[in-house]
Structure 1
Amino acid sequence: MEKALILVVDDNPVNINVLSTILRPDYNVKMATRGEKALEIANQANKPDLILLDIMMPEMDGYEVIARLKNNPKTSNIPVIFVTAKISVEDETRGLDLGAVDYIAKPINASLVQARVRTHLALYNQSLELFRQVTEKTQEINQTRLSVIQRLGRSAEYKDNETGMHVLRMSHYSQAIALAMGLDKIWCDRLLNASPMHDLGKIGIEDAILKKPGKLDGDEWETMKQHPRFGADILSGDESELMRMAHDIALTHHEKWDGSGYPQGLKGEEIPLSARIVAVADVFDALTTARPYKEAWSIEKACSVISQDAGTHFDPDVVEVFESIMDKILELRARFPELKT
């Protein structure tokens, strides 16, 4: 097993030599006589597992060194033990408040140094292992959650699309558009995972309306227009960013740029950007996919209609980006074909 790396920081070479002599039989040791050098070593790829830090040093004292270590995400978790003659209650309190895990008083006691270093390395290793386990479990939970979300979104599609592949295609179209717009990748990934729930409210629409082969009459259409509110009601009450986005998309993806959409008659940028992107992706896939009431349109015809509706139905900026990445859209369409039944 590889030895732990200890960084000893002290402006006095005698003190460094004493500590190095104590530690070298059991650990790898690096040394620094200035604060700047200590920070440089701590930021290297092979970071120290623990730092023994003097307080009273010229140019940059130990307090400033530890403050900078703790403010840097790359070094904030490295345990720091002050080794110093400055050992009043006030000094100790200040050091602990800044993030030190312990104090060792000078003159140095070899047995005490070995015991303290051994103890805090063990605690540090336990902390790293716990963090690894928590991270692994969190990833597992998140993956399970996303899987449930995707299946929840597909459940609505099974009412009017036997394979449910629509939600996979349109969610990937939405992410591709968002990425091409230069939006933050985390936001784009959230859109990928939230957009499958856009039509969740269809669960509340009776099959006689949803699967009607002909045109809906007035009352049937009014009933169909309720599905955004049904979906938003199902998705409300969760404060996570993912579910808030899913709620907004479910409620507003049938709003139109000119204000003629439903259910709220929102206009322009009153409509959340997520829903404006989903609207284009959703309509394109709906037009190019066979449904009980229509044949699939050609790519050219669907794109022509979307282009004509830019500025009325759709956000013109979103349409422009959509058209610019048609090769990517068609690649995604081929990746998620309708399943044969």
Structure 2
Amino acid sequence: MKVVIVDDTHINLVLMSRLIDKLDGVGTVTFQSAREALAWCNSNPYDLLIVDYMMPDLNGLELIAGLQAPVDERPPVLMVTASVDVEVRHRALENGASDFLIKPIDKVEFLARTRNMLALRRASVSLRHRASWLADEVSKATAELRAREQETIMLLCRASEYRDPETGAHIQRMAHYSCLIAAELGLPLEQQQDILNAAPMHDIGKVGTPDHILLKPGRLNPEEMVIMRQHAAIGYQILKDCQAPMLRLAAQIALSHHERYDGAGYPHGLAGDGIPLVGRIVAVADVFDALTSVRPYKQAWTMDAARQHLLDNRGGHFDPQCVDALLRRWDAVQAIRARYQDEGTPA
């Protein structure tokens, strides 16, 4: 451990250094100039500061006041003074002094107080390291849980891909579009990541849609459309009882991403801000990518045509803020489109 000693009298520095040399594993750094000592303490680690009160350039109180580290984080300070003035002691305590020694120094008392302060410092550092280690362990455990959640989501998405005519590239694109909108809206980084991970589950309820409807190569009739629209509620029922926060978010997305901003959507006919924000975000991302993708019942639209569709339905089908957020990042949208390309044609 390292003890800094500051005293304008050389003999005092020698005396205190020799006493501290008797302690195992402890070294000293000495200064006759308080200004030099202050500059060194603000730039280097140490474990105890022993400072004289009366010094010519800076007194002990001024030196302590100049320490940059917060009082609750800095090493202990032992002030040595010939003054028994109560006001001086009070000011020293207010500035962060931990204890006092009265001159002339008694070597037994000096060593005892120094030893006690170093023990407190050692315990404080150990506790801080323990807290840091615990924080790291919690972070690792949280990361492992999130990885398991993401693994579950990917497995469910993979299972749904065997039945759904939408490609895996569509799922990647719409998830990244959703994350892009969330970022542009100023959502916290963690929430952006959750949306990126949960958005691929938006159509998981289609596992409950009959093949003759799900894979029909033409427009659905009204009766078939009623059955198709049940996938939003089915997806919610699949996911709603999950304890994992990301899967609960996926349940909310599954239920709400077909609601329309004007209230004409399904399954509950919610409108405006009554639709969860994640549902409004995913609605824009999902429809935009669906329009620009090949389906068994349609050809792909151009990017510009899909962009115009969003503008034409801004405030009707779509939340205007979500539309504007996506279109403000048009270069990033095109980069996502180029990165996640469909492989061949959909099943």
| TM-score (norm: length of structure 1) | 0.71
Cα pair 2:175 2:197 within 8 Å, conserved: yes
Judged with a 3 Å threshold, the aligned counterparts in structure 2 of structure 1 residues 7 and 229 are, in CA distance, closer, same or farther, namely farther
Q: Which residue of 1 aligns with 2:193?
A: 189
Q: Which residue of 2 aligns with 1:99?
A: none
Corresponding position: 1:332 with 2:327: no
The counterpart of 1:51, out of the listed 75, 88, 95, is 75
Q: Which runs of 5+ in 1 are unaligned?
A: 66-81, 86-105
The counterpart of 2:184, out of the listed 169, 180, 183, is 180
Q: Which residue of 1 aligns with 2:302?
A: 298
Q: Distance in 2 between matches of 1:188 and 1:302?
A: 24
Cα pair 2:149 2:247 within 8 Å, conserved: no
Per-residue deviation, 1:153: 3.4
Q: Distance in 1 between matches of 2:285 and 2:158?
A: 16
Listed as ranges, the matches of 1:160-239 within 5 Å are 160-161=164-165, 163-238=167-242
Per-residue deviation, 1:118: 5.5
Q: Which residue of 2 aligns with 1:69?
A: none
Q: Distance in 1 between matches of 2:252 and 2:111?
A: 63
Other structure's SS at 1:29 match: coil
Q: Distance in 1 between matches of 2:128 and 2:281?
A: 46
Judged with a 3 Å threshold, the aligned counterparts in structure 2 of structure 1 residues 124 and 266 are, in CA distance, closer, same or farther, namely closer
Listed as ranges, the matches of 1:1-341 within 5 Å are 22=23, 23-24=26-27, 29=46, 31=49, 36-37=65-66, 40-41=68-69, 51-52=75-76, 58-59=90-91, 61=93, 84=99, 108-109=111-112, 125=129, 128-161=132-165, 163-238=167-242, 241-340=245-344
Judged with a 3 Å threshold, the aligned counterparts in structure 2 of structure 1 residues 313 and 163 are, in CA distance, closer, same or farther, namely closer
Cα pair 1:181 1:321 within 8 Å, conserved: yes
Q: Which residue of 2 aligns with 1:92?
A: none
Cα pair 2:205 2:236 within 8 Å, conserved: yes
Q: Distance in 1 between matches of 2:190 and 2:307?
A: 28
Give a deviation string over 1:65-111, Cα, whole Å, max 9, x none.
6xxxxxxxxxxxxxxxx9658xxxxxxxxxxxxxxxxxxxx765366
Give a deviation string over 1:256-314, Cα, whole Å, max 9, x none.
01110000000111111211111111001111111122221221222222221112111
Per-residue deviation, 1:245: 2.8
Judged with a 3 Å threshold, the aligned counterparts in structure 2 of structure 1 residues 112 and 60 are, in CA distance, closer, same or farther, namely closer
Per-residue deviation, 1:128: 4.0
Larger CA Rg, structure 1 vs 2: 2
Cα pair 2:78 2:98 within 8 Å, conserved: yes
Q: Distance in 1 between matches of 2:4 and 2:125?
A: 14
Judged with a 3 Å threshold, the aligned counterparts in structure 2 of structure 1 residues 29 and 301 are, in CA distance, closer, same or farther, namely closer
Cα pair 1:152 1:200 within 8 Å, conserved: yes
Q: Distance in 2 between matches of 1:213 and 1:136?
A: 47
Cα pair 2:149 2:244 within 8 Å, conserved: no
Other structure's SS at 2:300 match: coil
Structure 1 letter corresponding to 2:341:
P
Cα pair 1:175 1:191 within 8 Å, conserved: yes
Q: Distance in 2 between matches of 1:247 and 1:57?
A: 63
Q: Distance in 1 between matches of 2:221 and 2:191?
A: 39
Q: Distance in 1 between matches of 2:123 and 2:269?
A: 64
Q: Distance in 2 between matches of 1:306 and 1:170?
A: 14
Q: Distance in 2 between matches of 1:277 and 1:128?
A: 37
Judged with a 3 Å threshold, the aligned counterparts in structure 2 of structure 1 residues 263 and 7 are, in CA distance, closer, same or farther, namely farther
Q: How many residues align?
A: 296
Give a deviation string over 1:29-88, Cα, whole Å, max 9, x none.
3537676545x2359xxx97x8336699534737x96xxxxxxxxxxxxxxxx9658xxx
Structure 1 letter corresponding to 2:69:
I
Per-residue deviation, 1:235: 2.0
Other structure's SS at 1:310 match: coil
Q: Distance in 1 between matches of 2:208 and 2:3?
A: 64
Cα pair 1:170 1:281 within 8 Å, conserved: yes
| TM-score (norm: length of structure 2) | 0.70
Q: Which runs of 5+ in 2 are unaligned?
A: 29-43, 52-59, 80-87, 101-108
Q: Distance in 2 between matches of 1:224 and 1:114?
A: 72
Judged with a 3 Å threshold, the aligned counterparts in structure 2 of structure 1 residues 194 and 42 are, in CA distance, closer, same or farther, namely same
Structure 1 letter corresponding to 2:270:
L
Q: Distance in 1 between matches of 2:3 and 2:287?
A: 60
Q: Distance in 2 between matches of 1:185 and 1:115?
A: 41
